[in-house]
Structures are given as C-alpha cells and as structure tokens.
Amino acid sequence: MKLIFLGPPGSGKGTQAKVIAQDYSIAHISMGDILRESIKNGTEVGKKAESFIKQGLLVPDEVVNEIARQAIEKNAEKGFVLDGYPRTVAQAEFIAGFVNIDRVIYIDVPLSELEGRLTGRLSCKNCGSVFHIKSKPPKSGNLCDNCSNELYVREDDKPETIRRRYTVYEKETSPLVDFYSAKTVKINGVGPLETVLASIKKSL
Ligand code: B4P
C-alpha cells in the first residue's frame, strides 16, 4: 500500500499517518520529521532547511526531492504513507517518474480550526510524538508519554507563521487535490481523533 496524506498545516496528517503506518505495518515517511531531525543534527540538509521552516515557507524542491526518493525506494516493497510530501506539483511530478501511488487521503479542515490546533501543539524533540494541550494532552505534565522527554512548542507554530504557512499551502499545495483527483479520497478532519481515523480506515 502506497499512500499520500495531504492537507493544510495542522490538519492531522502526522497524527493520523503514525497510527495508519503502525496498524497496516507500512513505513511512515514524514518530511517534516526528517527535516527537523536534520536541523537538530546540524547536517547540510538541516542548514539549508532551517530558515525556510522558521519563516513558514516551503523548503526548496531540490532539497526535499532527493530525501523523498531515497525514503520511497527504501520502503517500496513494504509500502508507506507519505506525510507532508509532495507539497508542490513539481514534487508530485518528480515522484510520478518512479513510483505509483495507490491512494491520496486529503484531510479537509477549515482555517478557523487550524490556528487553535497549531498554537496548542506540543512536540517531542526526542521521539517526534505529537500532543495537543486540549485534544490530546500528555498524561504527565509537559512530558512525552512515549519517552518522558520534555515537550516543546515548534518555532513555526507561532500565529503569524501559521498564517503564512496556510497562504503557502493554498498557493503551492492545494493544487495537488486536482493533480491526484482520480486517486483522492476527501476525509472530514474535524472531530475526535478516533472518528477521523475511522473515516480514513473505511476509505482504505
Ligand atoms: P510538517 O511537519 O509536515 O507539519 P504540519 O503540516 O504542520 O502538521 P500536520 O498536518 O502533520 O499536523 P499534526 O498531525 O501535527 O511540516 C513542517 C514544515 O516543514 C513545513 O511548513 C515546511 O516548511 C517543511 N516541509 C515539510 N515537508 C515539506 C515538503 N514536502 N516540501 C517543502 N517543505 C516541507 O496536528 C496538529 C495538531 O492538531 C496536533 O497538536 C494534534 O494533536 C492536533 N490534532 C490533530 N488531529 C486533531 C483533531 N481531529 N482534533 C483536534 N486536534 C487535532
């Protein structure tokens, strides 16, 4: 099974993709996680990506495409869910050259709901787990349920950066819904996490 999760920033792509990957025994390829890990480790990719992410802009295609190609080829047999990639038509055209995607899950959430989700997001720097102060609070204070490390608010989750990310999404990423129209299933991303998950599973 080769899936793409598409949706605006904060729609729950990462939250749902992690569970789907685990339940269907396929790989979870999160471009955001890979880039943040590269920044943390001070790699060449991390140095190139850092300022774009902080400003709420997309990292250039030439930086992310090669990362995606390697991850896709590595997991081609096992199957995968691509979370946050492709984010531009050029990225989608790039992978079309070497992989056939089975299904695109488009998680639809209105802008009015997204800001609260992102300003309330808590992330673990150590293992990448994601929580929310209201909809998915960590069990013990500000510590990760998975690895007990401290949680933090991402730099790109500030209100002014969120608005820019949404504008970038509308211009650069939303055309992918048309690009993949024959393979796309639209899911209502508003509601409890379990309800959204059940809709995704039903569509698979
Ligand atoms: P990502 O890390 O992919 O982040 P995202 O789009 O902000 O979040 P996602 O939709 O996964 O939301 P989540 O599940 O966490 O990208 C970060 C940046 O990296 C980009 O802005 C860009 O700069 C760069 N980048 C990544 N990929 C790139 C590419 N292909 N090309 C160029 N640049 C790239 O959910 C958000 C919050 O809502 C969480 O707190 C969660 O708990 C909560 N939530 C989820 N579902 C909910 C629900 N149903 N109800 C209530 N709350 C919910």
Lowest mean pLDDT of 9-13, 84-88, 105-109, 159-163, name the range: 159-163
The sign one gets for the Cα dihedral 183, 188, 189, 192 is: negative
Instruction: Provide the pLDDT for residue 59.
Output: 98
pLDDT at 98: 96
Give the pLDDT band (50/70/90) at residue 199: very high
In this predicted model, which residue has the larger pLDDT, 115 or 52? 52
> Would you call 40 a catalytic residue per the annotation?
no
Which residues line the pocket of ligand 1, CB cutoff 6 A?
7, 9-15, 31-32, 35, 52-53, 58-59, 64, 84-87, 91, 117-118, 120-121, 130-132, 135-136, 156, 165, 189, 191, 193, 196
Could you tell me the distance, in angstroms and rounded to a whole number, from the CA of residue 78 to the centre of ligand 1?
Answer: 24
pLDDT at 48 over 90: yes
Q: Half-sphere exposure of 63 toward its Cβ, with a 13 Å CA cutoff?
A: 19
Structure tokens at 125: 């720097």
Of 160 and 45, the structure prediction assigns the larger pLDDT to 45
Residue 129 DSSP SS3: coil
Number of the ligand 1 atom closest to the C-alpha atom of 191: 49
User: Residue 169 has which token pair?
Assistant: 């999404």
Q: Which two tokens stand for residue 28?
A: 């979870």
User: What gap in Å lies between CA 167 and CA 55, rounded to an integer?
Assistant: 12
Q: Is the pLDDT of residue 125 over 90?
A: no
| Confidence check: pLDDT of 75 > 90 | yes
Output the six-digit token pair for 97. 């050259």
